[in-house]
Structure 1
Amino acid sequence: MAEFNIVKVPQLAWYGDTELDLELPSRWDVTICRMRGHSKLPLTRSEIEGAFRHPIGSPPIRELARGKNEVVIIFDDLTRPTPVAEIVPHILDELEAAGISDAHIRFIAALGAHRGLTRIDFAKKLGEVVVDRFPVYNHNPYENCTFVGETSRGTSVSINSEVMSCDLKIGVGSIVPHAAASFGGGGKIILPGVASMDTIAANHALAARARERGRSGSMTYGLGFEENELQLDIAEAAQMAGLDIKIDAIINDRREITALFVGEPLVTHLEGVKLAKESYATEPVADRDIVIANAYSKATEPFHSSPLGARMLTEAGGVLVIIVNTPEGFISHYLGGSWGRGIGGRYWQRRSRLLSRIRKLILVTEYPDRAQADRIAPLDSITWARTWPEALEHLDKDYPGEAQVAVIPDATIQYLPE
């Protein structure tokens, strides 16, 4: 009888946050590649309160809010791991202390080019009490955006008109590695979060321009933050839009808040990124026959798992296994997603081949999404498996003997430092 070792990986973010047991043959040499901050303890309520009492580069929200008429709280969507419901009560306490009544507060989901959220989604992100108490809106990137100016890089910036009608703007999100902007968080709550589609497209185009000039801006994942073209453009747009306060979380491998940065958006983001670089950094391993890349925190965007996993494979080529379990499927992306067999958003590109070093790609999911999976690889190059045992059957055939294996618990937010 075959002997197995069990490795647990997190799954089903926003849908129960459970664990999946991976049975791996004991004949395989397995390395678990965890991010450095994976086991950090979550903040206590008093520690979160402390972040609000002592913001970075800004007076507390209760002081900023005095004399203000209308408040907007902008929050990230389900593609990001931020447990916003744990943060919002502290914001509301600050606003109440400033004398701001509920009638003058609204929430807006920073969708960028993503699909709109449902009430069920709002409740997952904000908590039922908040959804019952306040109006919560989706951002519409195609209409009702107000022009606020042009960045020094030539991006024409138009921002959600409801956001711009408010004289106190508060953003809530998290800092995690990002494919084109090096790290998320900070001003991304504004651009792309609540920007017009034309503004989003112009900002994203900077990645291609930077790549042509050999500078940072494409497939950065935690690298080159300080000189990143998109990031610099985003920070400028956030200032133009008048974002007053940004709240950014750092999380562990269970989506728990391990650090919270509150304050002036630019300074707060810079401070947060310093810790993010350490928390999400992953010690590299090389020459693996099999890499198992689990998509958890950003499970609706599992294509983020491919570059990290591919880099750990042997140069001769190996098998990349991406595990992605999310009942809603992959995120609909109006700018970069496919909208038919041969059509897509203005930045959609048909994948023509697997990434270098990937000889075979196995996609493990109970919820196949055969429309959006082309953002990972050409559809005809994907081997589908609904369960881990089914995937293991494929791997056993390819590697009946020994194999060098790496397991990445959350390949959507981990990165390899330089």
Structure 2
Amino acid sequence: MSALEELRTAAWYGDRTLDLSFPPEWNVSTLNPETPPPLSDSQIVRALARPVGQPPLRILAAEKVRPLIIVDDLTRPTPCARVMPFLLEEFLQAGIGASDVTVLMATGTHGAPRADAMAKKIGPEAAAQCRLIVHDDTRDAVRVGRTSFGTAVYVNREVPASDLIVGIGGIYPQHSTGFGGGSKLALGVLGRRSITRLHFGHSSSKGSYDVDNDFRRELDEIARIIGLRSLVSLHVDAGRRPVRIASGDWERYYRGEVAFAKQAYRAPLPDGADVVISNAYPIDVSLTFMRSKGVIPLVHAPPHASKILISACSEGVGHHGLFPFISTSKFDRPRRLARYALARPRRIPQMVAGRLKRKLVSYSGKGTQPAGQAATFHEQRKSSSPIWLYLPEQVSLPERIPGMQQVHSWRGILDRVGEQHAGRGTLEVVVYPCSPLQVLDTHTMENASLSSPELQGAD
């Protein structure tokens, strides 16, 4: 072994360095994003002091008594802890102590996180000082309005009870809405009925990175309805360090930040590669979320290529209330029927047709995965090569994962690649070091499976 590649793994659970060795005859190309250096404290302070389109928080918070900070959960790599001390200082300048600030973790339908999740997200000091609440989309939601699209807006009751709302989130590629961040943070504090209606009321943007869609427009309306006008948005590098910040009125700056992401994280498709390696860090916390965030480069791998997905899956399978990756509950079918009931009438034929198509694919003899899951990795059936899931952490996952084969050592990965390409000399290897952040050079996800609700929903 001669070539050595250093990646990162286990976001939120160590953020460890992962050293990968390669045979000397392999030609390894690593597609690193072109991000700025990590932010200094002074740069963060300056961004908060000069928000876009708004007065500084210390002025907005004057005479307020029930401020609320909404943060994303650990399925997102946003290092909110880097911002929290400075945000709390802004509140203090307005006469509001940390003990009077409520922090609400926007979990959407992701279920209750582990006990230390809030300390990881906002830092142990802020977690010890502030009032902490983890959103539960199945309870404590109150109706606050209706969008022009017809969605009744049910939101965590802490939101309308607050007199100032500030969000902290990130801006990352997202299959359904083009990019996450901005008003999409509001989705994480909505009730299940509203979230379901949003997911099944709109067509997906199908991984096009286009934020000009009705899903996004309705989220914008919802953010206005619930009073989320001030937002701190971060971009992170391949090591999950914040490299760019925007604060203030998200409607004024969001599209500019998306444009930055499209340029800084741009990466070519793996055309001509013999081996494609996709590292799901920094969205590798669970199987459920890495399978939609980290798999995209592998979908575009040439048919003959070996496809390798790296993910720590520190929290195991993970959970999504609308789109469970591995279905184990007897309630999944009734829940699916309920989703059809909440969908807009014009969307129901599309949903039924999509489900029928996935069933036909699964019965075609080209795979043995359950019908509802087979389409997720439909593209890989064009070759006999599976996705090899390299798990650098000792985690417990189901023995069978649709479309994937688990491998627990890097040596095992190299052996499998060697067997697949036996007799060949030089292999062209492409590495995507932070694939969930990277923007591939394509405007349309050609894979039919990427428009399936299963992949669309894992956000």
- Asked if Structure 1 and Structure 2 have the same fold, meaning a TM-score greater than 0.5 normalized by the shorter chain, the answer is yes
> Structure 1 residues 341 and 64, CA, compared in 2 at 3 Å: closer, same or farther?
closer
Match of 1:241 in 2: 226
3-state SS of 1:190 partner = helix
Amino acid in structure 2 at the alignment position of 1:187: S
Contact 1:282/1:417 (8 A) holds in 2: yes
Which residue of 406, 420, 433 corresponds with 1:398? 420
Instruction: Report the Cα offset of residue 298 of structure 1.
Output: 0.6
Amino acid in structure 2 at the alignment position of 1:206: G
Cα RMSD for the two superposed structures: 2.1
Deviations 1:136-165 (A, max 9, x none): 111010111111222222222111101210
Match of 2:167 in 1: 171
Match of 1:214 in 2: none
Runs of at least 4 residues of structure 1 off by over 4 A?
Answer: 371-374
3-state SS of 1:180 partner = coil
CA distance in 2, matches of 1:115, 1:415: 28
CA distance in 1, matches of 2:437, 2:396: 21
Deviations 1:49-82 (A, max 9, x none): 1101110011111111111120111101111111
Match of 2:137 in 1: 141
Contact 1:169/1:242 (8 A) holds in 2: yes
Matches within 5 A, 1:322-361: 322-337=309-324, 338-340=326-328, 344=332, 346=336, 350-353=372-375, 354-357=377-380, 359-361=385-387
Matches within 5 A, 1:18-417: 18-37=16-35, 40-191=36-187, 193-207=188-202, 210=203, 217-220=204-207, 223-225=209-211, 227-299=212-284, 300=286, 301-303=289-291, 304-311=293-300, 313-314=301-302, 316-337=303-324, 338-340=326-328, 344=332, 346=336, 350-353=372-375, 354-357=377-380, 359-365=385-391, 366-368=393-395, 370-371=397-398, 374=401, 378=402, 381-400=403-422, 401-402=424-425, 403-417=427-441
Instruction: Report the Cα offset of residue 355 of structure 1.
Output: 3.2
Contact 1:71/1:167 (8 A) holds in 2: yes
CA distance in 1, matches of 2:2, 2:436: 26
CA distance in 2, matches of 1:259, 1:164: 30
Contact 2:317/2:397 (8 A) holds in 1: no
Contact 2:153/2:194 (8 A) holds in 1: yes
3-state SS of 1:233 partner = helix
3-state SS of 2:18 partner = strand
Contact 1:112/1:195 (8 A) holds in 2: yes
Instruction: Report the Cα offset of residue 35 of structure 1.
Output: 2.2
CA distance in 2, matches of 1:251, 1:138: 24
Amino acid in structure 1 at the alignment position of 2:6: K
Instruction: Report the Cα offset of residue 350 of structure 1.
Output: 2.1
3-state SS of 2:111 partner = coil
300-309 or 137-146: which moved more? 300-309
Aligned residues: 396
Amino acid in structure 1 at the alignment position of 2:386: K
> Structure 1 residues 394 and 295, CA, compared in 2 at 3 Å: closer, same or farther?
same
Deviations 1:298-330 (A, max 9, x none): 10221122222221x22x343211010132124
Amino acid in structure 2 at the alignment position of 1:414: Q
3-state SS of 1:320 partner = strand
CA distance in 2, matches of 1:341, 1:30: 43
Amino acid in structure 2 at the alignment position of 1:383: Q
Match of 2:348 in 1: none
CA distance in 2, matches of 1:329, 1:10: 18
Contact 1:168/1:244 (8 A) holds in 2: no
Amino acid in structure 1 at the alignment position of 2:75: T
Contact 2:270/2:297 (8 A) holds in 1: no
CA distance in 2, matches of 1:135, 1:324: 33
3-state SS of 2:159 partner = helix
3-state SS of 2:439 partner = coil
CA distance in 1, matches of 2:268, 2:322: 33
CA distance in 2, matches of 1:417, 1:27: 28
Contact 1:15/1:326 (8 A) holds in 2: no
Contact 1:36/1:282 (8 A) holds in 2: no
Amino acid in structure 2 at the alignment position of 1:199: S
CA distance in 1, matches of 2:80, 2:140: 25
Amino acid in structure 2 at the alignment position of 1:144: D
Deviations 1:147-185 (A, max 9, x none): 122222222211110121001001001111111111111
Instruction: Report the Cα offset of residue 368 of structure 1.
Output: 4.7
CA distance in 1, matches of 2:315, 2:21: 26
